[in-house]
Amino acid sequence: MLQERLTVQDNMVVTLAYTLRLKDGRVVESSEESEPITFIQGAGEILPALEEALYGMAVGEEKEIWLAPEDAYGPRRADAYQVVPRSEFPEDFPLAPGVGLYVYTETGEAFPAYIAEVGPDTVTLDFNHPLAGEELHFTVKILALRPATPEELEHGHPHEG
């Protein structure tokens, strides 16, 4: 009995082991520390350029994928910084460079930001994505593949690995 070899296509649930490194080799994220990610191919759950590079891969296959900043989190923008008074933070807020937070506009929209600098009276917020301006190097391996169920396709995400 011949069996069709499953490869990554649209509407397949993909279980992916990955390590994400920066250009200098520093590891940013790895499924060895967290968990492999599971997503529906073609549903836009992961970076589009990463998704694009996975098409046609089979279970067990590994690949090195390099993404330029413009294919990842975009360039780092010099105008994406904002200085706010320290008094705007609750007293117990952990004011330290690198701490992530959400800034809410008057209309209730939330923007993720990171603390870039803490001064005596002010805090500088960086609205750039932490990986903006970085070339990303993914090492990926397909662990499992299966067709998504109609319900999963309707929701746009897998319900189990």
Q: Which stretch binds Zn ion (CB under 5 A): 8-16, 40-48, 126-134, 151-159?
A: 151-159
Nearest residue (CB) to Zn ion, 77 versus 159: 159
Q: To the nearest whole angstrom, how small is the minimum distance from the Cβ of residue 55 to Zn ion?
A: 24
Q: To the nearest whole angstrom, how small is the minimum distance from the Cβ of residue 37 to Zn ion?
A: 16
Residue 16 CA to residue 99 CA, distance in Å, equals 28
Nearest residue (CB) to Zn ion, 121 versus 154: 154
77 lines the binding site for Zn ion (CB under 5 A): no
Instruction: Say if strands 136-147 and 62-67 run parallel, antiparallel, or are unpaired.
Output: antiparallel
Nearest residue (CB) to Zn ion, 86 versus 155: 155
| Count of residues interacting with Zn ion (CB under 5 A) | 1
Q: To the nearest whole angstrom, how small is the minimum distance from the Cβ of residue 10 to Zn ion?
A: 18
155 lines the binding site for Zn ion (CB under 5 A): yes
156 lines the binding site for Zn ion (CB under 5 A): no
C-alpha of 73 from chain center: 9
Residue 140 CA to residue 63 CA, distance in Å, equals 5
- Give the residues lining the site for Zn ion (CB under 5 A): 155
